[in-house]
Structure 1
Amino acid sequence: MARTAKSTDRKRAAQSVKAARKIKQPQKPSEEPEKILFRVEGKMSTFGGPLDFGMQPDEGLALFSKLDLEDPKYADLFLPAPPPGTSGLGRRLNPNKFYFACRWNYLDTPKEFLRRSLACVENPQNGRKVDARPVDWGPYESTGRVADLSPGLAAALGLNTDDVVTITISARRAIPVKAARTKRAGHGSSNPHAKPAIKEFIESPNHSSRNGAKIDKIVLHCTEASLPSTLAEFKKSEGRQVSAHYVIDRNGEIYQMVKDSDRANHCMGANESSIGIEHVGGENDPLTAPQAAASAALIRWLIEQYGIPRTNIFGHDFTPGYSRPGGTSCPDKLFGAGHAQATIAAWVEANV
């Protein structure tokens, strides 16, 4: 009995030493939930390619330009040659490739970020998932849809027009944007476009508070006067007391007269939520080439900076809320011969 007890004690002691020497394995940390950068769910439709006759022959894409046709990262999104009678990238999209459009807020998801991202596009009814690239902004909110898909993408997911789709861009699938290749408007800004050079800031006294209103539209004007006359008129504190945020001369030089954060007096009934851009010219003058380039660059910066939809760029006479009795001929023929918002929209689509 004594021998057995001693043997048992030695065995227990050895087990205790072994247990003491045993290294505890660290617990595996729980996996953090995936960070979602963009997500939308709702009805869809299809767009793009030679047979999309809802797109104009010269209609472009919000996220890509013709320079991207030479970039091997993006060239396969497009057909080798434009369809007959077309010049825009919209109809040149390869309908069999997987691409899509959503109504992006470029402050949250800048254009350069979207160009480098892959999204997970899912049919929630059958669970099919496919990776696809963002290529454009749309569809309009009035359609009741949240996304437009390529015909090939819709077919792969088993979707038909007005079916529900889910689109997600996660941090793991997004390709980081290299800061060195991103033009920034200022410290902490996500705007990929640099603000065009301002020739001079000449403050107009005719401005006031926006009273908390968000900037959500841009109004385009024709001065119907020379640059000196326009600047002088906007500096007057008596009389009509008119002003605009920017004035673009015929040579493309840009003058700023009211801070973006302030309300300028340029479009009665729509001043609190808009930016006004005057273009020097007469009633029958088109924009000069330098003037058009400067205007397009400024508009690009503004829509990125303030998250303004491209559809919210208006000619003076066509601005929602504009309330001057009798209207106005402004912006005259600067952006095209037809006095219509469609003329403005066509110019924006072709240039901005």
Structure 2
Amino acid sequence: MNKLKAEELYYYMVLGRKFEYAAKEHYMTGEISGFLHLDIGQEALSVGAMKAFDHGDVFTTYREHVMALARGIEPKAVMAELFGKKAGVSEGRGGSMHLFDPSHFFYGGDAIVGGHLPNAVGCAYARKFQGSEHGVMAVFGDGATNGGAFFESLNIASAWKLPVLFLCENNGWAIGTSIDRVAPFHEQHKKAKPYMPTMEVDGMDAVAVYDTIKEAQKYIEEGHGPIFVEAYTCRYEGHSMSDAATYRSPQEMEICKAKDPIERMKGFLKELFGVDDDYLAKVEERAQKAVDEAVEFASQSPEPDPTELYDHVFCKECANVVS
């Protein structure tokens, strides 16, 4: 990895964490409502994967703020969506859980756990049918691997050799349920082994994630069919803002935070490229400025017009074929 790419990863990781802290703050003040799932602690995975999978379609879970930013969606548009404003990336219709932007090939925030996996497989089928050189990446949590849609998606993708990169972010918890209570093993890639090749990566290491996803992307684009990547990571917050995460021990959190992805990336930049503390401070300032501007933009943006409530609900083009 060259210096420019490493610096880019670091900036978006810092931006993502500051964005999430700002979202948490404004949720507490009531300016953001509904559900809010924070990605604090998982920035290496979210940024590394998005920057590596730099073309093709991306389907994600509802913990997708940092992924959306890393994909190139403007912080102002993402924050405005969290505020439920017209200027939001989904025009205030989706909020935190539905950051949808076809212009960035980003189909993020399915509220149904694992519900986006069949959609991703269908998109990969379309890509292959159209002769596209690009593929599809589907990001999901370890909890989704216990659902029927997960196995159905693996089966079809494998049987039809579709260009799908299945990326499992295994943070060990499905809401408040430990993966060890609902699966016979901690490593969820074992479920995919009968269907396709699998890879494992330290999800707290942005460089390792980037390199692994690049390798997996190359595999699907060469026409070999799907591949499964499992990234072991750790979120610092509860499942959502309504979850105090009291079921997690102080010892577990201490182990998690000792692997902090941003601190690890700082060390990488210093050791390999000789960046100094002055540079790191400037990155922090730049990221904070972007977040402050996003919050100001969101707070000043207009609400959606109530008359638009039913827009995009029914297919007008289908009117003649519906009895």
Q: Structure 2 length as normaliser, TM-score?
A: 0.21
Q: Structure 1 length as normaliser, TM-score?
A: 0.19
Q: Which has the higher strand share?
A: 1
Which one has more relative contact order, counting CA pairs under 8 Å at least 6 apart?
2
